[in-house]
């Protein structure tokens, strides 16, 4: 499914709704599609929109979960960040992260020697422009990034973007931006291979018009190679 922003996966362990009419992704699948026993195969923050994989039974969930554990799942995100990120300067962010002392939620850069965990994110600067959003940030410089996490740490993409000096628009936690109407982070593409099904592979893409509408005067910076140029829609590895 394609999860909207500001929607939780489920009610969590306590089973309590944040407000009376709150609908979770699990509610939508159960009520709208009659799929009450689905199992989510990975996590997606409530504030983040995009592709979310669920399995219909334990065997399918286990098979998909195993691919995530073995890092055979490839993920790609769109992020709209503050400022113009120079092309190529952050092609790979390799910065360990870990929990902020005294917080069960916040993450921050943290050396491996101090308990941080390795975290890598491939970065491609797709476009530069200015924010079309109403409010405090109208007309501020912004960049549209393509991000591919090579590891799966909590808040990894948000912390890495903040770490390079270009936090994500709408990120109240790490950018202190409570003015924008959403967190501009979207799970755009997900590929799992090999799957124990006839096709053998899942490769799904979900675009999001919010990002195009939020960026005025967009100019291409590092567009991905086209199919004719040998591109496959993923960020090319260095030297490829």
222 Cβ neighbours under 8 A, 6+ residues apart: 87, 88, 124, 125, 126
205 Cβ neighbours under 8 A, 6+ residues apart: 51, 188, 189, 233
DSSP 3-state of 89: coil
Cα-only R_g, the chain: 18
Are 55 and 68 in contact, with CB atoms under 8 Å apart? no
Question: Helices (DSSP H) in the chain: which residue ranges?
Answer: 25-33, 58-69, 156-163, 209-214
Please identify which of the residues 6, 10, 27, 45 carries the catalytic annotation.
45
Distance CA 214, CA 221 (A): 17
Are 169 and 142 in contact, with CB atoms under 8 Å apart? yes
Sign, Cα dihedral of 49, 74, 1, 16: negative
Are 159 and 171 in contact, with CB atoms under 8 Å apart? no
Active site residue 14: no
Compute CA distances 89 → 43, 86, 119, 133, whole Å. Answer: 29, 6, 18, 27
Active site residue ranges = 45
């Amino acid at each position: 499914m394609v999860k909207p922003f500001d929607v939780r996966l489920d009610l969590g362990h306590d089973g309590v709704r944040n407000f009376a009419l709150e609908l979770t992704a699990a509610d939508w699948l159960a009520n709208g599609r009659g799929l009450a026993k689905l199992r989510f195969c990975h996590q997606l923050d409530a504030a983040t929109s995009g592709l979310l994989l669920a399995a219909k039974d334990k065997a399918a969930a286990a098979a998909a979960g195993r691919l995530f554990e073995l890092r055979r799942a490839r993920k790609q995100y769109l992020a709209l960040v503050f400022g113009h990120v120079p092309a190529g300067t952050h092609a790979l962010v390799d910065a360990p992260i870990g929990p902020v002392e005294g917080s069960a939620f916040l993450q921050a850069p943290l050396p491996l020697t101090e308990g941080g965990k390795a975290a890598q994110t491939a970065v491609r600067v797709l476009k530069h422009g200015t924010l079309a959003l109403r409010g405090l940030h109208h007309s501020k410089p912004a960049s549209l990034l393509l991000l591919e996490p090579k590891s799966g740490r909590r808040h990894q993409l948000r912390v890495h973007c903040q770490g390079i000096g270009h936090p994500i628009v709408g990120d109240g936690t790490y950018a202190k931006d409570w003015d924008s109407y959403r967190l501009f982070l979207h799970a755009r593409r997900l590929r799992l291979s090999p799957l124990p099904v006839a096709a053998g592979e899942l490769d799904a893409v979900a675009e999001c018009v919010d990002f195009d509408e939020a960026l005025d005067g967009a100019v291409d910076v590092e567009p991905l190679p086209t199919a004719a140029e040998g591109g496959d829609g993923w960020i090319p590895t260095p030297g490829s």
